[in-house]
Amino acid sequence: MREIAVVGVGMTKFGERWDKQLRDLFVEAANEALKDANMERNEIQALYVGNFSAGSFVGQEHVGPLLADYLSLKYKPAFRVESACASSGMAFNLACMAIASGMYDIVMVGGVEKMTDISAPEVTSVHAKAMDAEWESFFGLTLPAAFALIARRHFVQYGTKPEQLAMVSVKNHRNATKNPLAQFQFEVTVERVLTSPIVSDPLHVLDCSPVTDGAAAVILCSAELAKKYTDTPVYVLGFGTASDTIALHDRSDITTLGAVVEASRQAYKMAGIEPKNIDVAELHDSFTITEIISYEDLGFCEKGKGGLMIQEGETEIGGRISVNPSGGLKARGNPIGATGVAQVVEIVQQLRGAAGKRQVSGAEIGMTQNIGGTGSTCVIHIFGRQRR
């Protein structure tokens, strides 16, 4: 299996981007990645795009060739990948396998979503399509309500407190003030989180990631070619993917995301490292409880100790494991199809030492964790400054 390197990254400003269409956002991010890699577009051999639901959000399907067309990649294969919030994380994983196999030498991976062109109730309905349509959303269960059930059970089982969930939001908003591309560049307090409107008890508005427009893109190549394009390649050391039941009621323990446990086991084994070796991680904090449970399921702390981990500041920039220095989905924003690749962009910048005011000092190994639905899909990648 050939080794893989990231040689170019690009990302748009995240937020309510009514000034641009879906295709325009993607082309902006893709052109930035090409510029970063000092690469001509005709060198790209294939395009992998993560997109959850352009058909519902903007009435556009057949997204792969649409974006290849507007990027002037005529006749190049273009793959659209859908896996709910893990769409572009999964696209990145498939591109890694394509390069590792020798099928392609250079590929572009992108993610894009344009979510703000429809009403809030419509967005909630689209989100619910990531769940079991027949046995969950048909009966009125929404994605926030599902994670509220998870949070409430975690409270009962492990003694986690609403204040600890709020600390995740506080940390990630603070980090986002140092990210010029983040949607929410303002700080919040624990009190402000806990007094914001309830979405689904115990989750408040400020426990939930926002509705976001945006795109991100990266360029991958075989490790042997990397130095041709950049002096600071970042290498893919390991990856893992797993799935779980789509419905919460089919799981034996809803406080554990089994797909995260399994995908991380695969990724650690391939990379030849342990959780303690991770310096910086971009974790899937679509809701504050998700980040806390992810600490546990990734092996960063004992099961049930995630609330204590955030409370003791271990995941702050400069802490034991710096988590979501970008601001995470919570504050950087969550354009569903773009989220996974946006995580990769942040980790690459961190390992290059190019993350500016949010730089994690001495970061050598980074992780991205991207989940879909209520943890029905998980894809994890581990990156390093040095080859294996």
Residues annotated catalytic, as ranges: 85
User: In this structure, are residues 263 and 241 in contact, taking their beta carbons and an 8 Å threshold?
Assistant: yes
3-state secondary structure 153-176: HHHHHHCCCHHHHHHHHHHHHHHH
Residue partners of 204: CB distance under 8 A and separation at least 6: 166, 193, 194, 195, 196, 197, 198
| 325 alpha-carbon distance from chain centroid | 13
Please report, as a single letter, which amino acid is at residue 388. Answer: R
318-346 burial string, b = 16+ CB within 10 Å, else e?
eebbbbbbbbbbbbbbbbbbbbbbbbbbb
3-state helix, strand, coil in the chain (%, to 5): 45, 20, 35
Q: Phi and psi for 109 in degrees, rounded to 5?
A: -120, 130
Q: Could you tell me where the beta strands, DSSP code E, fall in 60-184?
A: 78-81, 106-114
DSSP 208: B
Residue with tokens 């959303």: 137
H helix or E strand, kind and range, residue 282:
strand 280-282
